Amino acid sequence: MEVLTGIVYYQYFNHTSNISGMNLFNSLKAILQTDQKPMVLNAEESKELNQAIVELMLEMVKADFVELHAEKKVLSSYLSHSLNLPLEKANQYIEEAEVRINFSISLESQTNVINNYLNKLQKIKLMEQLWKLAIADNQVHLLEEHLFYKAGDLLGIKKAALEQICKNEPAEGIS
C-alpha cells in the first residue's frame, strides 16, 4: 500500500475555512455565554423546574431513612425564600413530591429537568442548598453523601467543586 504525501494548500484552506471557523467559534462562544445567563421561564417550565428541585431535595431529606423536623424545616425555608414561594405553596410542593418520589427509581428525571433550565452557577447554588439539607441534623449519613455526589455528577459539577461545597468553601470558581 502506497502512502501519498504531498503539498497541501494549507494557506488556501486555512484562509477559506477561517471565515466558517470564526462563525463556528462565535456560535460556540454564544452557546457558552448563554449558559451563564438565567433563563426566563414560563409558568409551566417554572413549575416543572420547581417540582424537580423539590423532589431532589426531598430525596436528600429521606436519604438517611430518617426524616427529621430540622431537615424539613430547612427544605421548607429554602423553597419559600429562594424560589419565592409562599409557605403554603412550598408545603404543597413537598406533599406532591413525596408522592412522586415513591415511584422514582433514579435521580436522572430530576437532574435532567434541572440541567435543562439552570446554568452552572445556579446548579452550584442548588448543590450548596442540598448540602445544607444533608447537614441539617448535624451529621452526614453515607447515603446522603452518596446522593450528594451522584446528583452533582448528573448536574455536571466537578468533584472538586462538590468537595469545596462540603468544606463550606465557595465553589463558584470551579466549573
Alpha helices in the chain (DSSP H): 10-34, 43-63, 69-82, 87-101, 108-117, 120-134, 142-154, 159-166
User: Quick one: pLDDT at residue 20?
Assistant: 44
- d(CA 174, CA 159) in angstroms, rounded, equals 10
Q: Which amino acid is at 77?
A: S
**Which residue has 501519498 as its cell numbers?**
4
Rounded CA-CA distance 156/107 in Å is 13
Give the angle 54-59-61 at the CA atoms, nearest 5°.
95
Task: Write down the pLDDT at residue 76.
Answer: 85
Rg (CA), the chain: 22
Quick one: pLDDT at residue 67?
Answer: 65
**In which residue ranges of the chain is pLDDT below 70?**
1-38, 67-68, 169-175
Q: Helices 142-154 and 43-63, interaxial angle, to 10°? A: 150
For residue 85, what pLDDT is reported?
Answer: 79
Domains, the chain: 43-166 (1.10.3680.10)
The predicted structure's pLDDT at residue 161? 95
